[in-house]
Structure 1
Amino acid sequence: MSTQLETRTTIDPITAQVIRGALENVAVEMGYKLARMSYSSIIRESEDFGCAIVDAQGQQLCESTNSTPLQSGPLPGYIRGIKKVLEERGDLIRPGDVIMHNSPYYGASHQPDVGFFLPVFYRDELIGFSCSTAHHLDLGALTPGSCGIVDAVDAYAEGLQFKAIKVFAEGRRNEMVWQMLRDNVRAADLVVGDMEAQIASCRIGAARYLEIVEKYGINTVLAASEDLMSYSERILRQEIEKLPDGTYHAEGFVDGFLDSDDPAKKDLKISVTLTVKGSDLIVDLTGTAPQVPDRPINMPFEGTVDIAVYFTLRSILLDSEVFGYIPQNSGLMRPIQIIAPEGTMVNPTFPAPTIARFCPGNMVADTLMHALAQVVPRQVSAGVGNLNVVAYSGLKDRQYWVYMDIMEGSYGGRYEKDGMDAVDTLYANTRNNPIEDIESHYPLRVNRYELLDDASAAGKYRGGIGTVREVMFLEDGGFSVEGDGQRYAPWGFSGGNDGTPGKLILQMSDGKETVLPSKIPHHRAAKGDKLRLFGPCGGGYGNPLDRDPNLVLKDVLDGYVSLKSAETDYGVRIVDGQIDLAATAALRAERNL
């Protein structure tokens, strides 16, 4: 590969852009076809998957735009992990291989995100990989579902581990691996069907990539890819150079296990020190809490922590509203160095469990944004409301049904904009699963799903509003939850109020209610039981007394803010649906003293 690149080190910009568009279309096609071929709603509806083409060195050339960064972003790390495992075994990558991989200590994001990798050969030379990852419903752990296994004591308790397993070897299907999968996972038809859809998507990507190579020549394609990576790197470095050199610090906290008697399992600190030096950024996570050796809220450094850092910096410094489309590739990672001490939550050592790494990883991104707010206050939001991930399950005719639901969070207020309501935040962008899809496939009924009343954080730009969702079991079953944000409210910025923490309530069929912590291992539920989830609301941005009274009135009329809160938080008196201008001016003058 390096020899090929040396033969052609420059390329005209028009050809480079044409090849960029062709590569992106490959990844987009892979993503759409994977979504349409999949069986489970977590892929089909929520789009919790990723597709990409990477070169032989593992550098990402393109990714599917209809996927989540936490799926597509780690794919180069998967490749590095696969190569390391195969090298340790003395094995080689050969034409016709299809490799399955999910080891979080070899580049994967966490065990449920299973990747499939099809090596692409051109004239007997490895030129890259066609890749896909997706979150699978079950991998055979202690309890049903691949989320909410928050009582896992080590990596082995989190389900099946795949370290560079060849499910096809030189074109021959390894039937025993597939049989092992069917024998060890719940909802086997859905899980195996989704995996086969991933492989089909990879085959499509490999074929399309070869078509591009055959049309333009391998040297031209590789030169165009390097040109695009250099362009992405150059644009990011230009923005970093505009920042004042210096060091900026912020801290955040993860709930952990609020019901635990062990202080080492709760109130866990995330520490971020951001150093700007010329066109380089150093993100130092020293000071973050030690790893929790027997609970799965540790975060793989490669596959979760690095993606949280890269994506947050890229999103804030290269806002698409300002810059338009910037090619998403490995060039965006080159200006950034991450320091994560081994043995901490952000760089655990095997076999510390990691399956519930999502919410802590979101807090890494949120805390990094808090540090960056000191440098680019107009390019960040206030603190975000974290997400809840729930696994519902049960037995029907001796067969398991498993449903995984991602309950969205909310953003904080932003410069000249209110926070976004009811959306996935930071390094996640999965879609809302329609109620109609839930109720038509599972013995569940969604009784309530709406924005919270009078809960948004006050600010010149108010915080985003979280949701409340009530799900009732129509048959006996169970659930497990991994969430966060009950103890620590999302931070307000520049005078804005802090957001509202979340909560979780189980209402039994007899009406008795129990308040639950943010992390719940598998809990049996009877027919008629209801699980009620309240999402956190993002922080406010700016002094609430500076908010346009007409916007306060609009929020009151929309039911987002009560009359009392309008007066108490914003100094706006509303009478009979109209702003009392004199009373409002007096209230605000009194508060500003």
Structure 2
Amino acid sequence: MGAGIDVELQIVGSLLRAIAEEMGAVLVRSAFSANIKERRDCSTALFDAHGRMIAQAEHIPVHLGAMPDAVAAVMRHEPARDDVWILNDPYTGGTHLPDITLVSRTDVGFAVTRAHHADVGGAEPGSMPADSRALDEEGVVIPPTRLDNKALDALVAQMRNPEERRGDLRAQTGAGIAVLPDGRYEAKDVLEAQAEDLELRVAVTIEGDAIDVDFAGTASQHDSNLNCPLAVARSACYFVVRALVDPDLPASGGAFAPVSVRAPEGCLVNARPPAAVAAGNVETSSRIVDVVMRAFGRAIDVPAQGQGTMNNVTLGNERFTYYETIGGGQGACPDADGPSGVHVAMSNTLSTPVEALELQYPLRVERYGLRLGSGGAGRWRGGYGVVRELRALEPCRLSIISERRRHAPQGERGGEPGAAGRNLLNGEPLPGKVTLDLAPGDAISIETPGGGGFGR
């Protein structure tokens, strides 16, 4: 019995230490400043509901020894579950002013991060003057304060390079427990069928640890291939939840147990046989991500819309078949420009190298590069799309399944939309969805959408 208990304690202890270590890894990966990202001047730890440290990562000893006082200082304010509190006051649990501590209240205790910021205001850049005589000369003093967007804006406004400070503080927040406030949040978007737009509607309800995603009101399944089974809708919803709550969460059945996904039978995202579904897996799944992400955006900051399409291109005849998807601009984040010329969300695939394509198929790549200027403007710019031009060297058939040709990816928090995509045959416009014959020498150009911008 004693040995069994000892083994169980060892396992639990290892799991808790692993959580603390992963918090540190997330903080380092997402930080902006070299002091945190490269030097790793930061620490993470877990505390129980009584403020006792139960696990710590092997980081900075001077941080870790002082963390219990910081947690105790926050506890005196009786923080609510999912609250995040910030402090650096050396006389209420801090060390020196550049070391900013974030304390997140969780279901079972507290998740704590402390990081040395490159500047917190004061008389000298870097907030480490050699001749300071009073605390306020060394930077802004932060007593225990509940952290929200207003408090964050007020704090970074007193510091040098405020956007870097904002990025590092968001990295610290992300290293703790994501906050999804209870409530019901709705959004809508459209898919571009050849003759009409098809509306997707979603309501996301958050109640404690449970998330319900309901597609009631979505258009009925359609006489096209934009339909998808409910399994595809679930995949897209799980992706969004994982991306917003904890991107490093291991993908397992338990991870998604709190998430329920519902849709009326026979609607576009819960189609019944024998509805065609070729585009549902690639294009409708991408739009589900957009609309669910937008619903969460009513509650928390989320990225602007990305290209929202995989830009599916298929060429072939009886001798060869070739299929590719083409990356584009992704939406700007609350603290960074959107990445350019990539797939994220429901694809994550790579581009076929030009050399491999031309060696194996009767196709020539005439142009492949960024579509400069296609990202939406804003405080943070959306990513640029791609221009990819393929020339057929023998007769073949072409099929294109693409989206965001009529409706551009939208920005967030006042950011501008990205540029809509375009498909061209020998310089003449093509629809977003088309199948036709190509003759030798015909050139197909795909200009993929740019991402939306974030903020004004």
TM-score (norm 2): 0.61
* Superposition pairs of residues 397-408 of structure 1, within 5 angstroms: 400-408=319-327
Amino acid at match of 1:542: G
Could you tell me which residue of structure 2 aligns to residue 243 of structure 1?
180
Could you tell me which residue of structure 2 aligns to residue 296 of structure 1?
225
Deviation at 1:354, TM superposition (A): 0.8
Q: Deviations over 1:324-364 (max 9, x none)?
A: x4322111110001111111001011111111111111000
Which residue of the other structure, out of 369, 375, 378, is the alignment partner of 1:456? 375
Deviation at 1:436, TM superposition (A): 0.8
Distance in 1, Cα, partners of 2:399 & 2:453: 31
Could you tell me which residue of structure 2 aligns to residue 373 of structure 1?
297
CA contact (8 A) 1:446 1:471 kept: yes
Secondary structure at 1:469 match in 2: strand
Distance in 1, Cα, partners of 2:225 & 2:362: 29
Seen in structure 2, the aligned counterparts of structure 1 residues 442 and 374 have a Cα distance that, compared at 3 Å, is same
Amino acid at match of 1:533: I
Could you tell me which residue of structure 1 aligns to residue 189 of structure 2?
252
Seen in structure 2, the aligned counterparts of structure 1 residues 403 and 12 have a Cα distance that, compared at 3 Å, is farther
Distance in 2, Cα, partners of 1:296 & 1:390: 15
Could you tell me which residue of structure 2 aligns to residue 359 of structure 1?
283
Structure 1 unaligned residues grouped into runs of 5+: 1-9, 21-235, 261-265, 320-324, 508-512, 544-593
CA contact (8 A) 2:374 2:383 kept: no
Deviation at 1:12, TM superposition (A): 5.4
Seen in structure 2, the aligned counterparts of structure 1 residues 282 and 526 have a Cα distance that, compared at 3 Å, is same
Deviation at 1:239, TM superposition (A): 4.7
CA contact (8 A) 1:296 1:354 kept: yes
Distance in 1, Cα, partners of 2:292 & 2:9: 37
Could you tell me which residue of structure 2 aligns to residue 307 of structure 1?
235
Deviation at 1:272, TM superposition (A): 1.3
Could you tell me which residue of structure 2 aligns to residue 322 of structure 1?
none
Which residue of the other structure, out of 423, 434, 455, is the alignment partner of 1:520? 434
Q: Deviations over 1:141-163 (max 9, x none)?
A: xxxxxxxxxxxxxxxxxxxxxxx
Report whether the alignment pairs 1:316 with 2:244: yes
Report whether the alignment pairs 1:488 with 2:407: yes
Deviation at 1:426, TM superposition (A): 1.1
Could you tell me which residue of structure 2 aligns to residue 13 of structure 1?
11
Distance in 1, Cα, partners of 2:373 & 2:385: 11
Deviation at 1:387, TM superposition (A): 2.1
Q: Deviations over 1:217-244 (max 9, x none)?
A: xxxxxxxxxxxxxxxxxxx9x957x322
* Superposition pairs of residues 304-453 of structure 1, within 5 angstroms: 304-319=232-247, 325-357=248-280, 358-377=282-301, 380-385=302-307, 386-395=309-318, 400-453=319-372
Q: Deviations over 1:168-187 (max 9, x none)?
A: xxxxxxxxxxxxxxxxxxxx
Distance in 1, Cα, partners of 2:399 & 2:9: 53
Distance in 1, Cα, partners of 2:261 & 2:10: 34
Deviation at 1:455, TM superposition (A): 2.0
Deviation at 1:475, TM superposition (A): 1.3
Secondary structure at 2:356 match in 1: helix
Report sequence identity in percent. Answer: 33
CA contact (8 A) 1:439 1:446 kept: yes
* Superposition pairs of residues 25-44 of structure 1, within 5 angstroms: none
CA contact (8 A) 1:312 1:427 kept: no
* Superposition pairs of residues 201-280 of structure 1, within 5 angstroms: 239=177, 242-257=179-194, 260=195, 266-280=196-210
Structure 2 unaligned residues grouped into runs of 5+: 1-7, 19-173
Q: Hey, which of these two has a bigger chunk of helix by percent?
A: 1
Deviation at 1:425, TM superposition (A): 2.5
Deviation at 1:14, TM superposition (A): 7.4
CA contact (8 A) 2:421 2:449 kept: yes
Deviation at 1:427, TM superposition (A): 1.9
Distance in 2, Cα, partners of 1:313 & 1:243: 10
Distance in 2, Cα, partners of 1:463 & 1:355: 29
Seen in structure 2, the aligned counterparts of structure 1 residues 362 and 354 have a Cα distance that, compared at 3 Å, is same
Distance in 1, Cα, partners of 2:343 & 2:376: 18
Amino acid at match of 1:493: E
Could you tell me which residue of structure 2 aligns to residue 530 of structure 1?
443
Secondary structure at 1:332 match in 2: coil
Which has the bigger relative contact order, CA under 8 A and spacing at least 6? Answer: 1
Deviation at 1:13, TM superposition (A): 2.6
Report whether the alignment pairs 1:284 with 2:207: no
CA contact (8 A) 1:366 1:426 kept: no
Moved over 4 A (4+): 14-17
Distance in 2, Cα, partners of 1:411 & 1:272: 22
Report whether the alignment pairs 1:541 with 2:454: yes
Secondary structure at 1:537 match in 2: coil
CA contact (8 A) 2:312 2:402 kept: yes
Q: Deviations over 1:164-223 (max 9, x none)?
A: xxxxxxxxxxxxxxxxxxxxxxxxxxxxxxxxxxxxxxxxxxxxxxxxxxxxxxxxxxxx
Distance in 2, Cα, partners of 1:11 & 1:359: 48
* Superposition pairs of residues 542-581 of structure 1, within 5 angstroms: 542-543=455-456
Distance in 1, Cα, partners of 2:186 & 2:241: 15
Distance in 2, Cα, partners of 1:525 & 1:11: 67
TM-score (norm 1): 0.47
Could you tell me which residue of structure 2 aligns to residue 73 of structure 1?
none
Distance in 1, Cα, partners of 2:244 & 2:384: 21
Q: Deviations over 1:271-316 (max 9, x none)?
A: 1111110110011111111101x311101111x1100000111011
Secondary structure at 1:361 match in 2: helix
